[in-house]
A and B are shown apart, each in its own frame.
Chain A
Amino acid sequence: MAAKAFQKIFTKITQITKATCTLKASGVGNDELATVNGRLAQVVKIANDEVTLQVFTGTEGIPTDAEVIFLGKAPSLKVSELLAGRFFNAYGDPIDGGPEVDGEEIEIGGPSVNPVRRKQPSELIATGIAGIDLNNTLVSGQKIPFFADPDQPFNQVMAMVALRAKTDKIILGAMGMTNDDYLYFKNVFSNAGVLDRIISFINTTENPSVERLLIPDMALTAAEYFAVEKNEKVLVLLTDMTSYAEALSIVSNRMDQIPSKDSMPGSLYSDLAKIYEKAVQFPEGGSITIIAVTSLSGGDITNAVPDNTGYITEGQLFLRRDSDVGKVIVDPFRSLSRLKQLVIGKKTREDHPQVMNAAVRLYADAANAKTKMENGFDLTNYDERTMAFAKDYSTQLLAIDVNIGVTEMLDVAWNLFSEHFTPEEVNIKQELVNKYWKK
């Protein structure tokens, strides 16, 4: 970036750490961008005439007489319809060989929506996957992560959800993604012929990790443009938020902040909330839905990242390999969509809430029966029936390869109920039993 006439240039760096450098400068605003020998950096601390900059690409090779130019603005993105179909890096520069995007320049990480200007989410997002639509129904304006171990096929499921959901734009924010996965997404989207409604902001494992901190705000600034200005339904995919949190902890560590749980900064909750809370349903019809990935280490959800995330997002989805049927299923016990109450039984058939709960309860009974069997106890006839039910339920509904409509899912569930149980054992409101029980 070339220096312009009004920009101030400084050349006296007094302190350099791995991620930051400090210099004497004046007239600098908080959060402002600068370049240090051409590398992009951002103001993170000002003390009298000492300004500390976070250098996104790291400080390797930065000399104490580096040329520092302050750009007089916070990180920003040029937004317009032209964003559609393009691939960008963390700074919003094109990486697909195409031209720079023209448009209005907007500072990223902008203000929050006034809560009284939000509308209550009420539109179901159908994915065809019964483990989601039946048990953990998604709603537009919702924010929900997959909690998954790195070996699980969360990116595939996410891509499937993105393609089946009826949305106007899909925005992919990739943080610390392997190049292979990046190419996978690119392939899937172009094979489906939907590249023109997809916008991607990519930080791969090959890019500096601190750069990732810009990805969610870039993606969401673009999302806000389409949702607010164009009243479009926007789906934002953020993967992987654990990589984002790791970058946060690196920076806070370099700034000598006292770490709290799991070496994460004390502000982790607020930092994550600022991103996820951009999910919104606007009264004019536009919406931002966020589906994210939080990768776990050995399934541990008490780690600070998944734990704080769980308190912010509206539920979470867990994938699990069901060894009894040999398929990956959406785990009905640990998965939860908090907003499902807004649509199930209202936008879907009246029996949805009770059918969903009854099936999960019976599945839980099957898990108990299985424990009993493993401990070498005799099984009752009921135990055996629940276990048979569990297998059918897993294969016909929970497996991620299922692709049917919600009403059909309910019918399948009633079929399974009548096949394995009596109405008393299913414990559903009598009027619904009278209406839907398969005789």
Chain B
Amino acid sequence: MSTKGIVKGIVSNLVIVEVDGAVSQNEICYITLSGTKLMAEVIKVIGKNAYVQVFESTRGLRVGDEVEFTGHMLEVTLGPGMLSKNYDGLQNDLDKMDGVFLKRGDYTFALDKDKLWDYSPIAKVGDTVKAGDWLGEVDENFQPHKIMVPFVFEGEYTVKELAPAGKYTIYENIATLTNAQGEDIQVNMIQKWPVKRPVTLYKEKPRPFKLLETGVRTIDTANPIVEGGTGFIPGPFGTGKTVLQHGISKQAEADIVIIAACGERANEVVEIFTEFPHLDDPHTGRKLMERTIIVANTSNMPVAAREASVYTAMTMAEYYRSMGLKVLLMADSTSRWAQALREMSNRLEELPGPDAFPMDLSAIISNFYGRAGFVYLNNGATGSITFIGTVSPAGGNLKEPVTENTKKVARCFYALEQDRADKKRYPAINPIDSYSKYLEYPEFEDYIKDLISEDWIEKVNEMKNRLLRGKEIAEQINILGDDGVPLEYHVTFWKSELIDFVILQQDAFDAIDSVCPIDRQKYMLDFVIDVCRTDFQFNGFLEVMDYFKKMINLFKQMNYSEYKSENFYSFESELKKLIAERA
């Protein structure tokens, strides 16, 4: 007999329910409002009163309306068929909903009930298996989707029967497992998992070390992120957060990309819906949408579901990681998620922490980032979740709770800067304030030396030093004037401008320049560093500027040309001539 209750009080989407039995924290319940059922989650219990946050508008709800508790927490349904779907924050399939407007209480199934999947077994009869182990495989959009022992299974099981290779729906049994008590349990292709609980079915979680190529020079070259790494992008509005995030999700070398559009603009999600089905995956040549899942809880959708959306996305990422795949999870923006927490905490009349955010914000953020990572699965295969979140700091001020708490846990920091954005120096990532902690990992250093070249990190550091030096000189020139500083200061400054224009800046809207593979990045950095190490002869600072402007222009033409094409080489030889003039 499940617990029931009746509505006692309503403030916006916080509803107080008097219950007739046991309820648990975070349990899901449904409130009946003139025939439709509204989903809600328990967030506080006092005596017989359960405080629930409703995932929908509560307009018209009355005292006395009935509530039914489900006995489980917020869960997602996991199985083949999630790729290329568009979900809301509660994993409802948005495409299955009727009508232009979202209707209250319209919940749709996340997977396809009738689709037949091409299945082949991996395990053998007699194998001993436990939760997360691979039983078989289906082909999901050309990804090897593993059918696993459900994550909720405890202890060891023996495989008693396995379905032969063939076509099955998600509901058909593909295995019979026997538990320690000798009971037989049927397994099909779907399973459920509570979103707020991390999936930890792996053997080991080492420090991540493999470069995750994004095709963005200011990331890969200057501050690389790794497979299983974490990063965050704070920035005032209008500094190009979203363009950068979309770029990374289009280009990154990942098997699966999950985009959680959390409390952001609907038109940005529409851009993904519209563009991804036409874009080719630069790594496989297939369509980008085939490897992408979108969890869209835009800013006008119910606030409580916004909080759930990031967990929904993370749980799906953990599911694919358990198959030994490289998952990239992007959340735009984690500030909106924190604001959803704040709205609720406020309605619960909790004592507020800094900026009225809940006191446990820091713990919530660090637990969430902690779910990302590179893992060795029980069978020795590797999988990863790389997580990049954006932060929208109020007033562009980085000294606010969400940014500060994220900074404690994320290993890469990409500081978008208003000043660079104003000067149209995109991506507007400040090269000096940003960092990647992975550059300091010895295991990463070994990996990158092997992948690119022995002197790569040395050159990257030289580049950063030159940028810092350039910035210092710019400040001095501002104070002392052009002729108040020695001539070689101008040369050093313009060398740093060269690095900025050629390496750091990148045109996200140009078909060629927007994606820069790592070998091309190496080519350009080598070339630029060579120029920086060259001594040039000048007779006055005016010559310096004109000369470097010409050089920058030619380098940019190179960036716009197809790599190693005729054009590319002709600009290069022009450049070499120009360099020879003064070297």
Docked-complex contact A274 and B59, CB < 8 angstroms: no
The stretch from A177-185, A238-246, A253-261 touching chain B is: A253-261
The stretch from B99-107, B137-145, B149-157, B320-328 touching chain A is: B99-107
Docked-complex contact A111 and B299, CB < 8 angstroms: no
Contact A115 to B269, CB < 8 A, known contacts A315-B238, A427-B553, A427-B556: yes
> Is there a chain A Cβ closer than 8 Å to B565's Cβ?
no
Closest 10 CB pairs of A and B: A302-B395, A273-B299, A277-B300, A310-B237, A260-B356, A377-B481, A47-B9, A29-B60, A31-B59, A120-B274
> Is there a chain B Cβ closer than 8 Å to A316's Cβ?
yes
> Is there a chain B Cβ closer than 8 Å to A112's Cβ?
yes
Nearest chain B CB to A393 CB, angstrom units? 15
The stretch from A5-13, A357-365, A403-411 touching chain B is: A357-365
Chain A 10-44, CB within 8 Å of chain B: the 1/0 string? 00000000000000001111111000000000001
Question: B residues bordering A, Cβ < 8 Å?
Answer: 8-12, 16, 57-64, 86, 94-95, 97, 99-104, 236-238, 242, 263, 265-267, 269-271, 273-274, 296, 298-301, 303, 333, 336, 339-340, 342-343, 346, 349, 352, 355-356, 392, 394-397, 422-424, 478, 481-483, 509, 542, 545-546, 549-550, 552-553, 556-557, 560
Docked-complex contact B560 and A429, CB < 8 angstroms: yes
Contact A259 to B356, CB < 8 A, known contacts A120-B267, A378-B482: yes
Docked-complex contact A48 and B63, CB < 8 angstroms: yes
Docked-complex contact A30 and B102, CB < 8 angstroms: no
Nearest chain B CB to A335 CB, angstrom units? 9
The stretch from A152-160, A200-208, A262-270, A319-327 touching chain B is: A262-270
Q: Which of A113, A261, A312 contacts B102 (CB 8 A)?
A: A113
Docked-complex contact A27 and B62, CB < 8 angstroms: yes
B10 proximity list for chain A (CB < 8 A): 30, 45-46
Docked-complex contact B100 and A49, CB < 8 angstroms: no
A258 CA / B345 CA spacing, docked (Å): 10
Q: Which of A30, A265, A336 contacts B58 (CB 8 A)?
A: A30
A44 CA / B13 CA spacing, docked (Å): 11
A425 CA / B216 CA spacing, docked (Å): 26
Q: Which of A31, A257, A336 contacts B60 (CB 8 A)?
A: A31
Most A CB within 10 A of own CB, among B63, B545, B550, B560: B63
A342 — nearest CB in chain B belongs to which residue? B271
Docked-complex contact A30 and B61, CB < 8 angstroms: yes
User: What would 17 A/B residue contacts be, using CB atoms closer than 8 Å?
Assistant: A27-B64, A30-B61, A47-B11, A111-B101, A114-B101, A115-B270, A118-B270, A120-B270, A258-B349, A267-B12, A269-B263, A273-B300, A277-B299, A311-B237, A312-B299, A336-B238, A375-B481
A117 CA / B560 CA spacing, docked (Å): 36
A357 proximity list for chain B (CB < 8 A): 424
A353 proximity list for chain B (CB < 8 A): 509
Docked-complex contact B422 and A364, CB < 8 angstroms: yes
A302 proximity list for chain B (CB < 8 A): 394-397
A261 CA / B63 CA spacing, docked (Å): 33
Indicate the size class of the contact surface on chain A: 35 or more
Q: Which of A74, A115, A364 contacts B298 (CB 8 A)?
A: A115
Docked-complex contact B346 and A269, CB < 8 angstroms: no
Nearest chain B CB to A103 CB, angstrom units? 19
Docked-complex contact B560 and A269, CB < 8 angstroms: no
> Is there a chain B Cβ closer than 8 Å to A116's Cβ?
yes
Nearest chain A CB to B504 CB, angstrom units? 15
Question: In the complex, which residues 285-320 of chain A have their Cβ closer than 8 Å to any Cβ of chain B?
Answer: 301-304, 307-308, 310-312, 314-316
Extra pairs beyond A74-B60, A308-B394, A314-B265 (5, CB < 8 Å): A45-B9, A115-B86, A118-B266, A301-B395, A314-B267
Chain A 96-135, CB within 8 Å of chain B: the 1/0 string? 0000000000010011111111111100000000000000
Contact A26 to B482, CB < 8 A, known contacts A260-B355, A310-B237: no
Most A CB within 10 A of own CB, among B57, B267, B557: B267
Docked-complex contact B61 and A312, CB < 8 angstroms: no
Docked-complex contact B95 and A116, CB < 8 angstroms: yes
A141 proximity list for chain B (CB < 8 A): 267
Q: Which of A29, A113, A270, A341 contacts B509 (CB 8 A)?
A: A341
A47 CA / B271 CA spacing, docked (Å): 43
A339 proximity list for chain B (CB < 8 A): 267
A389 proximity list for chain B (CB < 8 A): none
> Is there a chain B Cβ closer than 8 Å to A56's Cβ?
no
Docked-complex contact A228 and B60, CB < 8 angstroms: no
B60 — nearest CB in chain A belongs to which residue? A29
Most B CB within 10 A of own CB, among A45, A303, A353, A377: A377
B273 — nearest CB in chain A belongs to which residue? A116
Docked-complex contact A111 and B58, CB < 8 angstroms: no
> Is there a chain B Cβ closer than 8 Å to A334's Cβ?
yes
A265 CA / B11 CA spacing, docked (Å): 14
